[in-house]
Amino acid sequence: MKKHHQFLLLSSVCISLLASDIQASPADVSIPATDDGLPGAGPIRRYDWFKKLWLRKRTGWAKRVQQDQGALVFLGDSITQGWGDTMGGSFPGVKVANRGISGDTTRGVLIRLQGDVLALKPSGVVLLIGTNDLEEKASPEVIAGNLKLIIAALKKHNPKMPIILCNTFPSSASKRRPADQIRKINQLYFAAVKGDPQITVLDTWLLFANPQGNAKKGEFPDLLHPNKLGYAKWAAALRPLLATQGYLETGPDDFKLEPGFISLFNGRDLTGWGLRKRKSLKRLENFDGKKTSEDKRYVAINGRLVVTTPPEGRRFQQLWTTKDFPKNFTLKLEFRATPNADSGVFIRSPQLQCRDYLLAGPWKELKNYKPQDWNEMIVTVKGGTAHCTCNGEVLNAAMKVPATGPIGLEGDRGQMEYRRIRLKELE
- DSSP string covering 168-180: PPP--GGGT--HH
Q: Is the peptide bond before 362 cis (omega within 30 degrees of 0)?
A: yes
Residues 284 and 234 in one domain: no
- Rounded distance between C-alpha atoms, residue 286 and residue 35, angstroms: 58
Residues 145 and 271 in one domain: no
CATH number of the domain encompassing residue 227: 3.40.50.1110
Q: Interior CA angle at 18 toward 15 and 20, to 5°?
A: 110
15 lies in some domain: no
Beta strands per DSSP E along 148-208? 163-166, 199-202
Residues 204 and 293 in one domain: no
CATH number of the domain encompassing residue 351: 2.60.120.560
CB atoms near residue 115 (< 10 Å): 18
355 lies in some domain: yes
Q: Facing residues of 399 across strands? A: 386
Residues 234 and 356 in one domain: no
- Rounded distance between C-alpha atoms, residue 250 and residue 362, angstroms: 32
- DSSP for residue 26: G
Residue among 107, 198, 111, 197 at smallest CA distance from 144: 107
Residues 144 and 196 in one domain: yes
- DSSP for residue 119: G
Domain finish residue from 198, 218, 244: 244
18 lies in some domain: no
12 lies in some domain: no
- Pairing of the two strands 163-166 and 124-128: parallel
Cβ neighbors of 100 (< 8 A, separation 6 or more) are: 74, 75, 76, 77, 78, 79, 80, 81, 82, 83
3 lies in some domain: no
Residue among 363, 371, 410, 416 at smallest CA distance from 206: 371
Q: How high is the pLDDT of residue 25?
A: 39
Residues 119 and 181 in one domain: yes
- Rounded distance between C-alpha atoms, residue 322 and residue 265, angstroms: 11
Q: Facing residues of 28 across strands? A: none
- Rounded distance between C-alpha atoms, residue 407 and residue 332, angstroms: 11
Residues 197 and 279 in one domain: no
Spans of the chain below 50 pLDDT: 1-27
Residues 281 and 182 in one domain: no
Q: How high is the pLDDT of residue 28?
A: 81
Residues 280 and 411 in one domain: yes
126 lies in some domain: yes
Domain finish residue from 188, 210, 244: 244
Say which amino acid occupies 344: G
Domain finish residue from 244, 274, 309: 244
Residues 163 and 200 in one domain: yes
Residues 212 and 315 in one domain: no
Its pTM stands at: 0.92
Residues 136 and 178 in one domain: yes
307 lies in some domain: yes
10 lies in some domain: no
Contact in structure between 77 and 110 (CB atoms under 8 Å): no
Residue range(s) defining the domain that contains residue 314:
262-425
- DSSP for residue 334: E
As for how many domains the chain has, the answer is: 2
Q: How high is the pLDDT of residue 1?
A: 42
Alpha helices in 77-124, H assignment, sequence order: 78-81, 106-116
CB atoms near residue 360 (< 10 Å): 21
